[in-house]
Amino acid sequence: MQYTLEEYHGLIIQTHIYRFFQEYHDYFEKDKTKKLVNFFFNRIYTLEGKDQRDNMAQETFSRFRGILSEKSRNRIDKLLRLNSLTDELDKEMAIHWKNDPELSGKIEYWKVIPCDVFKGLMLRSNTFESRKEQATLSIENLESFFELSKNPIAEMVMKPIKMAAMMMGIRQLYETLEEGYNATRPVDKELFKIFMEEVREKESDYLKSVYGRELTFPESGIR
């Protein structure tokens, strides 16, 4: 049976989500953090119409950059870059897997890709620097949304973004931003800092296990 590249890509995504659930299981169970981890480690991968949303957002965001604050522009830039880079890297893995005569047929039997096989695909498909950038962007997006959610004038910050998104017909982009904002609101600062320390440690260890290279993420801006 012939499988499409999209089917290989889908199982790559499913394996990422499975790993995140295993690594951060406690946070998926806590009332205060389950929305947070579900959004950044699951929902952001599986939003309906993701490809269409990302392409449309990239094409139209430049039209309304001028009416947003620098922080708002940077926040959207980093979210779009994270989505774009994640798709690019995972599709590279899917292509290598589909073209590997020894592994391609295994898609019929796997619900998630075994850890050693997955790491091997990542090593052959993606550079250390590209995966480092992706992990760094994930952390920066988490901290950016947390910072926004604790801003006493957050609703005023979000209003021009919403207006611009509606004007340009990219409501889904705003809804993605709003969902990230709402996901971080229930989390207090101390819990968030503990969580982020764990993310930095676990993601650094994971990439070291793949590439054999040390990784230190930028220090948190959350004080």
pLDDT band at 75 (very low <50, low <70, confident <90, very high): confident
Residue 145: helix, strand or coil by DSSP? helix
CA angle 62, 68, 71 (to 5 degrees): 105
Reference 44, options 6, 15, 86, 9; nearest CA is 86
Compute the distance between CA of residue 1 and CA of residue 108 in angstroms, rounded to an integer: 9
> What is the average pLDDT score of the chain?
84
pLDDT in tens, 40-74: 888 766 654 455 445 555 555 555 555 566 676 77
> Which comes out higher in pLDDT, residue 222 or 8?
8
Segment 136-156 shows an average pLDDT of 83
The answer to whether the predicted template modeling score (pTM) of the entire model surpasses 0.75 is yes
Q: Is the pLDDT of residue 193 over 70?
A: yes
Reference 153, options 173, 181, 180; nearest CA is 181
Compute the distance between CA of residue 41 and CA of residue 154 in angstroms, rounded to an integer: 24
Question: What is the pLDDT, as a whole number, of residue 79?
Answer: 79
- Please give the structure tokens belonging to residue 69: 């604050």
Question: What is the pLDDT, as a whole number, of residue 2?
Answer: 86
Question: What is the pLDDT, as a whole number, of residue 144?
Answer: 87
Residue 153: helix, strand or coil by DSSP? coil
pLDDT in tens, 17-37: 999 999 999 999 999 999 999
Output the DSSP codes for 71-134: HHHHHHHHHHHHHHHHHHHHHHHHHHHHT-TTTGGGGGT-SS--HHHHHHHHHHHS-HHHHHHH
Question: What is the pLDDT, as a whole number, of residue 121?
Answer: 97
Least confident span in 105-119, 140-154, 179-193: 140-154
- Please report, for residues 33, 200, 222, the alpha-carbon distance to residue 194 in angstroms, rounded to integers and kept in the order given: 12, 10, 11
Residue 77's Cα: distance from chain center in Å? 13
Question: What is the pLDDT, as a whole number, of residue 124?
Answer: 97
